[in-house]
Structure 1
Amino acid sequence: MGISQTRFVLQNDKKFEKVPFKLINNLIIIPVEINDVSLSFILDTGVSKPIVFSFLHEQDTLQIYNSEAFFLRGLGEGESYEASKSTNNIFKVGNAISLNQDMYAIHDANLNFTSQLGVPVHGIIGFDLFKDFIVEINYSSKHLKLHDPKYYKYKNCKKCETINLEFYNNKPYLNAEVSVNDTKIPVKLLIDSGGSDALWLFEDDDLGLYEGERYFDDFLGKGLSGSVYGKRAKIHKLHLKSFTLKAVNVAYPDSLTVAIAKRFKDRNGSVSGQVLKRFNMVVDYRGARLTLKKNKFFKDDFNYNKSGIEIEHRGELMIKEDVTYSLNALSNRDVNDEARLTPTYKYLIKPAFVIVELRAGSPAAEAGLLKGDVVLQVNKKDTYKFKLQEVVRLFYEKEGDEVTVLVDRNGSVREYRFRLRSPLK
């Protein structure tokens, strides 16, 4: 694996830098400063160069330098994205700095991870951090440590497993085994911390990689080039050396997506955030190894959305809230006197959560909900009072639980009821 001239270094001869992160929908979101502008980026082991989403007109603010037109293509059904390749940018992640950083700026407003995650996301960064540091990722306490390789010393860890890494186009791969349809199959998987699913496998009848009888068709997510669809199922086990995860969610993306993704012909799929978060890990690109240790998430069940609803933050709602003021606060009346209360109101701008995907045959679809409905309440609770992921979590609760959803459909407010049901028949 070649190391480019552009590199991050720790300032003031520090041996490591500790960086807090947010864990949203199994994705790591870290603070990144570009040309003195503070932003939030997804940490993605599967991306080679930093990508900035400049749909919010950050170009002037960021002072994107020395740009030239480019086209980028990723997973999905759409066309390539027009982008600007920019050089000589100053990147900072905590105390780590790169003074001559290349990046791509994408100008399409449709590429917006902020709406999917409910928190600001301005870009993606990966290889350029991992190549210069030994990166310790603590999913339990939600922080990174960027270690200067010159000073890092591995500790003796009897409860850890170390897996050798392979690289193709600056992307890391590991060897694992999956138990599918009672057969143990060796697989080569891309390590994709920028994916929120557990496991993607590419269908291969010769290897025995296929969904079996229990599966459902579903929207798998959005790649750089549009929506990705495929089949979801479960595999019996995923083996990462001595660590074994059971009843693991697996997605089998459609053939078009596989054709794009399989530029590395030996690749059988990806292991992503829903699996990775179950370990605290040390990622060492220079030493080509990954060290894993179980954490508090290891035994969590792998669950599917039992409603069929996918929601995103799309636009805003105007909310009218009652506010009551006590005139006692404005007078010299005795505190024992009865307070005189005057009702007033205030108006707030809050995020609107919109149904963007609806699985055919799901409980929500059968109840009559539609794509485009604005979700106002779930189980009598106003959605605007919660974060997007807190609302989404309600659709993963126990099978059989009743859910009441109040929506606005083109100005008409309607209520729907359904019971959560596993999509796996």
Structure 2
Amino acid sequence: MQTLKKHIILLLLCVAGFSQAQSKFNIMGGKEKASVRFKLINNLIIIPVEINGVEMSFLLDSGVNKPIMFSLNPGDSLSIEQQERIQLRGLGSGEAIQAVKARSDTFKINDILKLNLELYIILDQEINMSTRLGVPIHGIIGYDVFKDFIVEINYSTEKIKFYNPESYEYRKCRKCTDLPLTFRNNKPYIDVSVAIEEDKEPDIPVKLLIDSGGSDALWLFEDIEQRITIPENKFDDFLGRGLSGSIYGMRARVKKFNIGMFSFENAKVAFPDSTAITYVKNFKERNGSIGGEILKRFRVVFDYGNKRIRLRKSRYFSDPFRYNMSGIELQHNGMRVIQEVKKRNSTLQTNYGRQTGAGDINVVFEHYNSFSLVKAYEIAEIRKNSPAELAGLREGDVIVSINGKVVDKMTLSKVTGILQGKENKRMRLKVLRGETVLKFEFRLKEVL
């Protein structure tokens, strides 16, 4: 009887251990760390994942609580157990969106594995990050993977290292700053300070969400009582798209932004409209967020378990804070068909009676049409009174070439980068409007 009791206790301990192991991400093979390469696109981290054996791409977003998957295309094949329908809300002034609460059998990030991961599948086909980034994006993951590891993100090498927290040791680093994190709804916040304009002193303390899923540098929520006001030098702009719709607001620069022992001058900042942030303002202490354009300037170590973050300069630290001076916001809107007229030569041998046996060669050129598919980069948004709008460009125009260079072989980030050049740079655009090819010319203008 005593032996039987011991066996039962051991069995229960094994079951409990197995259950605990499956409730979190684990590094396969019992290793202490795992590395994952990522793509850095528009300051965002895109990682390869595998769900139930199907390869996909996810955005690594420290500002999201639960994994989110966008509704799959009809041609995609993925079997996931669906449980119940729910409504989700996020940034944007639109309504809540429909989603399905589901569970995957396996969720892998290279050598990192979790069984039975709970996630939400958004049913609205219109909510799709792929068009704005120019690469397939199937979903977003954040807290679930951050909480189980110490995560080191090296933006310079585009590599993430996941460490087992139990065996990780911090090295002494005089060039690093270690700062405490606080959490609300499983999202990390940090206390920093900002000086908005020259004549406003001292620096204003602010609590910001660390949001690796946001491409901007800083977002601040206007709050007169806390002296968080919009600078006089500003302009209206499209800031992005959230789960609940498009987000508009003001863009400006702040005099100084301080995070630990590091400071940035003239950092780019956005002030979203109050209607777009109604949902996130439920946490009244939050004053905004830090996005990818700040985070990529560091090698970042996230330590959720000990509620701390370590920052060390990356090669991007001193990069200028640029913004879109053209006023054009692009999206990848599928493919377009182009027709090329090519020449194909054929030879015709003739002999005009000479006895040499060698005939004359006549070359005959035949024209034929070749059709091919190329990327279609469409103007999704255009800023009012921007150089592009004043030149006559419109939403829906498809860009064919910029300054004589055809864009259909370029990535979306490459095309966007060309439009974010230096002030006064001349831009010559050829666009397709319906079936008509039009040409426009303007110069980039510094507003801030």
Task: Give the TM-score, by structure 1 length.
Answer: 0.93
Q: Does 1:250 align with 2:274?
A: no
Q: Does 1:368 align with 2:384?
A: no
Aligned length: 413
Q: 1:400 aligns with which of 409, 424, 436?
A: 424
- Aligned mates of 1:133, 1:322 — CA distance in 2: 57
Paired residues of 2:256 and 2:264 also in contact (CA < 8 A): yes
Q: State the one-letter code of the partner of 1:46.
A: G
Paired residues of 1:55 and 1:106 also in contact (CA < 8 A): no
- Aligned mates of 2:363, 2:192 — CA distance in 1: 69
Residue 143 of structure 1: aligned partner:
159
Q: State the one-letter code of the partner of 1:391.
A: V
Paired residues of 1:23 and 1:142 also in contact (CA < 8 A): yes
Query: Aligned in 2, Cα 1:88/1:414: closer, same or farther, shift over 3 Å?
Result: closer
| Cα offset, 1:76, TM superposition | 0.4
Specify the structure having the higher radius of gyration (Cα): 2
* Alignment of structure 1 residues 211-290 onto 2, 5 Å: 211-290=230-309
Structure 2, unmatched stretches of 5+, are 1-19, 348-360
Q: State the one-letter code of the partner of 2:161.
A: K
Q: 1:116 aligns with which of 132, 137, 158?
A: 132
Residue 162 of structure 1: aligned partner:
178
Query: Aligned in 2, Cα 1:263/1:5: closer, same or farther, shift over 3 Å?
Result: farther
Residues 279-308 of structure 1: CA deviation (Å, up to 9, x unaligned): 011101001000000011000000111111
Higher mean alpha-carbon deviation, 108-117 vs 66-75, is at 66-75
Q: State the one-letter code of the partner of 2:128.
A: N
Question: Where in structure 1 do 4 or more consecutive aligned residues deviate above 6 Å?
Answer: 322-328, 337-343
| Cα offset, 1:226, TM superposition | 0.6
Residues 312-360 of structure 1: CA deviation (Å, up to 9, x unaligned): 01121112356677989xxxxxxxx999987765422122111111111
Residue 53 of structure 2: aligned partner:
36
- Aligned mates of 1:250, 1:90 — CA distance in 2: 39
Paired residues of 1:304 and 1:422 also in contact (CA < 8 A): no
SS in 2 for 1:391: helix
Residues 107-134 of structure 1: CA deviation (Å, up to 9, x unaligned): 2111110000001100000000000011
Q: State the one-letter code of the partner of 1:396.
A: Q
| Cα offset, 1:62, TM superposition | 1.6
Paired residues of 1:66 and 1:88 also in contact (CA < 8 A): no
Task: Give the TM-score, by structure 2 length.
Answer: 0.88
Q: Percent identity?
A: 46
Q: 1:22 aligns with which of 39, 47, 64?
A: 39
Paired residues of 2:207 and 2:286 also in contact (CA < 8 A): yes
Residue 305 of structure 1: aligned partner:
324
Q: 2:339 aligns with which of 305, 308, 320?
A: 320
Residue 333 of structure 1: aligned partner:
none
| Cα offset, 1:383, TM superposition | 1.4
Residue 16 of structure 2: aligned partner:
none
Query: Aligned in 2, Cα 1:72/1:5: closer, same or farther, shift over 3 Å?
Result: farther
Paired residues of 1:89 and 1:102 also in contact (CA < 8 A): no
Higher mean alpha-carbon deviation, 114-123 vs 307-316, is at 307-316
Q: 1:388 aligns with which of 412, 421, 427?
A: 412
Residue 24 of structure 2: aligned partner:
7
Higher mean alpha-carbon deviation, 372-381 vs 124-133, is at 372-381
Q: Does 1:92 align with 2:111?
A: no
SS in 2 for 1:31: strand
| Cα offset, 1:423, TM superposition | 2.7
